[in-house]
Amino acid sequence: MRHYSYLLLIIIFMLPCTGASAKDDNKSEHILNHVDDLFRGNSSHGTFTMKVTTSHYTREMAMEAWTMGKDFSLIRIHEPQKEKGTATLKAQNNIWNYLPKVRRVIKIPSSMMGGSWMGSHFTNDDLIKENRMADDFTNSISFKGARDGTDIIELTLIPKPEAAVVWGKILVVVRAGDWIPLYMDYYDEDMSKTRTMTFSDIKMFDDRALPAALRIIPADKPGEYTEIIYKDIRFNIDLDEGFFTLRNLKR
Amino acid sequence: MSSIAIGTAIAVFFISMADGMYKKIVDSAVKMNAGHMTIQDPDYGSAPSIDLYVPSVEAIKKAVDGIEGIALVKTLIICRAMVATAGGSTGAAMIGVDADVEKTVSPIADHIVSGRYIRNHDERGVVVGINLAKRLKIEPGNKLVVTTNDTGGVMVSEMLRVTGIFSSGMEEADGYLVQVPLDVARRIVRLGPDMSTQVGLILKDPERTDSVIKEMETRLSGQGVAVLAWQEIMPDLASFIAVDKGSNYVFQGIIIFLIGFTILNTILMSVLERSREFATLLAIGTSPGLLRLQVLIESVFIGIIGTGLGLIIGGGISYYFQIYGIDMSSLFTEGLTITGFAVDPVIRNYLSIGLFIWLGSVVLGMTMLIGIYPAWKSSRINIPDTLRSR
Amino acid sequence: MRIIKTAWRNIWRNSRRTSITLTAMILSMVVLILTYSLMRGMMIQMEASVTNLIVGEVQIHHHEYLEDRSLYDTVEDPKPIIEAARSADIASAGRSFGYGLISSGTKSAGAQFWGVFPRQEREVDDLARNMLKGEFLSEEPGMNVVLGRKLARTLNADIGSELVVVVQASDGSIGNDLFYVSGILKGVGEGIDRSVALIHYADFESLFVLPGLFHEIVLNSKGKIEAETMADIIRRVSGNNEVKTWRQIMPGVSDMLATYGGAIILFELIFFLAAGLGVLNTMLMATYERIPEFGLIKAIGASPWRIIREITAEAFILGFISSIAGGIIGTLLSFYFMYFPIDLSGFAEGFNTSGIVISASWRAALSPAGIFIPIVAMWAISVLSALYPAIKAARLDPARALNHV
């Protein structure tokens, strides 16, 4: 029920892995890959907080995460006290949760992937998605120029006919200069906006500039949102598969 | 005699009505599942999993060849999955079916309320239950992304397009069931073209279930599959039918008992009425045995005619309703479900030779038994007293 | 009075014939009463199983709860409702519901958790008495859970099994804890069997972080007050909440019971018919047999009316005796089956269909109507059925009658 990994993966992975980005080439595919690569990496280790505001509650959690490629990740919650020690391990296609209060590990079955993740506005689709946007969507530049005082490039993504994605359309807006994403609008098949992801507070992390704040806002619930704020991240650290084990999960 | 006829007729009618109802319920249930019998991996029943599959559907079809009374062979692939749209996601059961076969039998195919049922060559077709559609806010033409584990344990996702929405009246199906063509399911979970989770047989005559199972077990031994009767797959339904049948028999038994008593009364009376006649016969030398026999034969005669008449009348009425059915749907505003299976509330009687034979012999037998006492009494008349009295 | 005396004498003149007639009529009577009370017993048990097992007679929810089952739609201000129930001597119980994951280590499944008060549940319904294995929850919270039959099977769980429960609490945090299976329910209904896990209300409170709130209040007067009436009483104090009777909550079941009820009346009519025919037959034969006798009486000058009167009087007495005697015996037998129900467990252990649980023990239920109507009816039938032959006899040509065999 709490399947943390994937989207967290995505969130955590606000890091470029390939290093040099072809900023002078405005082909939409390159831009998309750049954004995608922001979400992937060889390995990383970072800490961040997640704040969830719904009509019933507001919660803040502090977490630490290790990732390797797109197949492995380990996330541990440090705050609040009630959840301290709770951890999620994703190893290839399996997800396990460790619950410190009862000192048990449970495996999450694929059919139980319904519902929101950790009470936030992220969906399971986000969590499980592994594919690159460029692979799943046909993309094109739909707008280049200034909007709200910033020079931006807007990409329109339409799902390819056989892609396993639930959306009807995604709009990706990046900064014209460095291709750092500003926001993404997700539309359902009937072209009504379902949610928006915004990126802000660009800072230096390790050796690169990244948006430190990511917010996801559902279109049908005004006032509600989930926000992730990065404290620090380091990339290309020394990790191997042996780190991502159930034993480590329980520690 | 008329009472025998009426009572028998009533019994025929109600028993055949009940039989018809059971047949219909079993029919509906069996068509929702694999069939009157299910062939699956021996371990599948206790721990269902996509990697416990039937290795060769062809082999089973070959084994079935030559057995009489098989109406259909159903092939099923069953997986637990998550289905998602932009509007939400939920757990569901995804069943791969042979659309051509299902079209003829499935209650799902019969209750499409929007769009159309799947076809075997649909590359990405799926039909979903109406409650599921409401929850995920989808209509025919919309996308549905299904995520499940394949036979290797790897999580896989695929996009499907809803061809139609069904409303079967069964809560479980309408809220948690999606159906796809067999090959689509095979592609998603990586089962070979000859594999499936279950193979089911639907029989023309459900009474033959046991004998066909035995036959199949022999033919399929050594192939690593188990053959289960529907009663093992749906024990609740089997229970329901057993108890209902039991109470029905009690009631019919009471009716027959009442009849029996009337018969006894009648025969006895007729004997007493003819005391003078019998006394005369005895007086002139007829053997008591012969007299008893005569009375007995009379009872038997009445019995035969009465029973026969009753069977004919009851059978006739039942047959009428077997053809036309009694429509009880106005009584069930939300539709009728028995142990979770939707049943069409049109009751059709079901006459069987067995019923006629059984009922006929019971009533006849009872008539004969009852005739014994009066027969015996008839020979014990006090001859002089009877002749003397008026 | 003289007529009665004569009739009585006439009846007993042919004691054998009379005894047979009486026996037949009494037996019909007994069967009639017995079958009615048995069928009525089944009806009552079925209806009671709906209301007394889980649903209760009336339920109260937050006015939006039944639509989307949101954890946050709890009953507003339940106090006046509970007070009203108590003063009307209606048993009440509060329940909370939430969804989550339940895992036995190797197997996990989605489950609907019910937070209940064991003592109140015992007053309001029979759930506690429907255990397949183990025991119902105890009064003190102790991290125990009672599982639906099929859920237990899915989890491969047995008494004492340890289960991990993970839910999303009302404050968004992850509620999780260990529970131990104290009991498994018998089959009570598809949905419940497959996904319900019952825990103590206090355990539910801490798991879901929902202090002192309910999603449902169940009321049950165990038949003392009619459901609709009860709903009206409660509506006066329930404020914005939604009050529903069990028929509104489970219309399918209501329909099914109505059909069974109809079937029972049909059956009873048939039995009536059968019994009535029997009586008719008996009286016909008895009268027919005496045609020579009537011929004689006529021949010596009796008026046709006299014959009719006489026959009717006899039928009257016969009817009276058999009705009363049959009525007594039938009633006694029904009482017997009220206290010693028929055991159907040879057939099946009890099952559920469309939400009605049919138990394997068949108990009879008498009602005054079930005794008096047959008595009066049979009496009437016996008198009426003697009339036809009586009239025939009265119209007889004495000579022909005398020679009638």
Tell me the pLDDT band of C360, cut-offs 50, 70 and 90: low
The β-bridge partners of B130 are: none
* Best residue of B32, B248, B258 to probe chain C, by most C CBs closer than 10 Å: B258
Chain C residue numbers with beta carbons less than 8 Å from the beta carbon of B6 are 273-274, 277
Q: Do C17 and B91 touch (CB under 8 A)?
A: no
Q: How long is chain C?
A: 405
Q: Token pair for residue C257?
A: 């019971």
C16 touches chain B (CB under 8 A): yes
Query: What's the pTM value of the predicted model, to 2 decimals?
Result: 0.75
What span, in angstroms and rounded, lies between the C-alpha atoms of C317 and C286?
Answer: 14
B87 touches chain A (CB under 8 A): yes
What span, in angstroms and rounded, lies between the C-alpha atoms of A171 and A78?
Answer: 34
**pLDDT higher than 70, residue C368:** yes
Distance from CA of C105 to the nearest CA of A (A): 6
**pLDDT higher than 60, residue C405:** no
Q: Do A189 and B145 touch (CB under 8 A)?
A: no
Residue A27, helix vs strand vs coil: coil
The 3-state secondary structure of chain B, one letter per residue: CHHHHHHHHHHHHHHHHHHHHHHHHHHHHHHHCCCCEEEECCCCCCCCCCCCCECCHHHHHHHHCCCCCEEEEEEEEEEEEEEEECCEEEEEEEEEECHHHHHHHCHHHHCEEEECCCCCCCCCEEEEEHHHHHHHCCCCCCEEEEEEECCCCCEEEEEEEEEEEECCCCHHHHHHEEEEEHHHHHHHHCCCCCCECEEEEEECCHHHHHHHHHHHHHHHCCCCCEEEEHHHHCHHHHHHHHHHHHHHHHHHHHHHHHHHHHHHHHHHHHHHHCHHHHHHHHHCCCCHHHHHHHHHHHHHHHHHHHHHHHHHHHHHHHHHHHHHCEECHHHCCCCEEECCEEECCEECCCCCHHHHHHHHHHHHHHHHHHHHHHHHHHCCCCHHHHHHCC
Most confident of A25-29, B129-133, B364-368: B129-133
Summarize the confidence of residues C353-368 as an average pLDDT.
Answer: 68
* Residues A85-122: b if buried by 16+ CB within 10 A, e if exposed: bbbbbbbebbbbbbbbebebbbbbbbbbbbbbbbbbbb
Distance from CA of A173 to the nearest CA of B (A): 20
Q: What is the pLDDT of residues C78-117, one digit of tens each?
A: 999 999 999 988 999 999 999 888 998 778 888 999 999 9
Percent of chain C with pLDDT over 70: 90
Q: Do A110 and B158 touch (CB under 8 A)?
A: no
Q: Check residue A157 and give its pLDDT.
A: 92
For A190, which residue in chain B has the nearest alpha carbon? B142
Chain A residue numbers with beta carbons less than 8 Å from the beta carbon of C173 are 59, 80, 82-83, 119
Kindly write down the DSSP assignment for every residue of C211-259, as one continuous string.
TT--SEEEEE-TTSS-HHHHHHHHHTT-TTSEEEEHHHH-HHHHHHHHH
* Best residue of B26, B273, B347 to probe chain C, by most C CBs closer than 10 Å: B273
Chain A residue numbers with beta carbons less than 8 Å from the beta carbon of C103 are 106-107
Q: Do C344 and B243 touch (CB under 8 A)?
A: yes
User: For chain A, which chains pass the contact test of at least 3 CB pairs under 8 Å?
Assistant: B, C
pLDDT in tens, chain A (251 residues): 333 444 445 554 444 333 334 443 357 888 888 887 776 667 889 899 999 998 888 999 999 988 887 778 888 999 888 889 988 888 776 778 888 988 888 877 766 666 666 678 876 556 556 677 888 888 888 888 888 888 999 999 999 988 888 889 999 999 988 888 999 999 998 999 999 999 999 888 887 788 899 999 998 888 899 999 999 888 888 888 888 888 888 87
Pick B238 or B150 by higher pLDDT.
B150
Summarize the confidence of residues B110-135 as an average pLDDT.
Answer: 92
C166 touches chain A (CB under 8 A): yes
Nearest to B263 by CA among B294, B293, B305: B305
Q: Check residue B114 and give its pLDDT.
A: 93
Distance from CA of A189 to the nearest CA of C (A): 24
B92 touches chain A (CB under 8 A): yes
Distance from CA of A62 to the nearest CA of C (A): 13
Q: Do B159 and A113 touch (CB under 8 A)?
A: no
**pLDDT higher than 80, residue C356:** no
Distance from CA of A50 to the nearest CA of C (A): 12
Q: Check residue B104 and give its pLDDT.
A: 87
Pick C191 or B115 by higher pLDDT.
B115
Q: Do C278 and B172 touch (CB under 8 A)?
A: no
Chain B residue numbers with beta carbons less than 8 Å from the beta carbon of A162 are 124, 159
Q: Check residue B77 and give its pLDDT.
A: 92
Q: Do B148 and A164 touch (CB under 8 A)?
A: no
Pick B338 or C248 by higher pLDDT.
C248
Cα Rg, chain B, nearest whole Å: 30
CA distances (Å), origin A159, targets A26, A129, A137, A140, A167 = 21, 14, 4, 12, 7
A131 touches chain B (CB under 8 A): no
H/E run at residue C394: helix C368-394
Chain A residue numbers with beta carbons less than 8 Å from the beta carbon of B89 are 113-115, 123-125
Q: Check residue A21 and give its pLDDT.
A: 41
Tell me the pLDDT band of C41, cut-offs 50, 70 and 90: confident
Q: Check residue B42 and give its pLDDT.
A: 86
Question: Which residue from A56, A80, A106 is facing C164, i.e. has the nearest CB?
Answer: A106
A62 touches chain C (CB under 8 A): no
User: For chain B, which chains pass the contact test of at least 3 CB pairs under 8 Å?
Assistant: A, C
Q: Check residue A22 and give its pLDDT.
A: 42
Tokens 């790897």 sit on residue: B154
For B272, which residue in chain C has the nearest alpha carbon? C17
For A106, which residue in chain C has the nearest alpha carbon? C105
Count of pairs with CB atoms under 8 A, one residue in A, one in B: 74
Q: What is the pLDDT of residues B186-232, one digit of tens each?
A: 999 998 888 888 988 888 888 788 888 888 888 888 778 888 888 88
Chain A residue numbers with beta carbons less than 8 Å from the beta carbon of B80 are 109-111
Q: Do C278 and B262 touch (CB under 8 A)?
A: yes
Q: Do B171 and C191 touch (CB under 8 A)?
A: yes
A165 touches chain B (CB under 8 A): yes
With a CB-CB cutoff of 8 Å, which residues 19-58 of chain A face chain C? Answer: 52, 54, 56-57
Q: Do C168 and A115 touch (CB under 8 A)?
A: yes
Q: Check residue B222 and give its pLDDT.
A: 78
Chain A residue numbers with beta carbons less than 8 Å from the beta carbon of B143 are 166, 168, 189
**pLDDT higher than 90, residue B117:** yes
ipTM entry = 0.77
**pLDDT higher than 50, residue C323:** yes
Tell me the pLDDT band of C168, cut-offs 50, 70 and 90: confident
B154 touches chain A (CB under 8 A): yes
Summarize the confidence of residues B254-259 as an average pLDDT.
Answer: 72
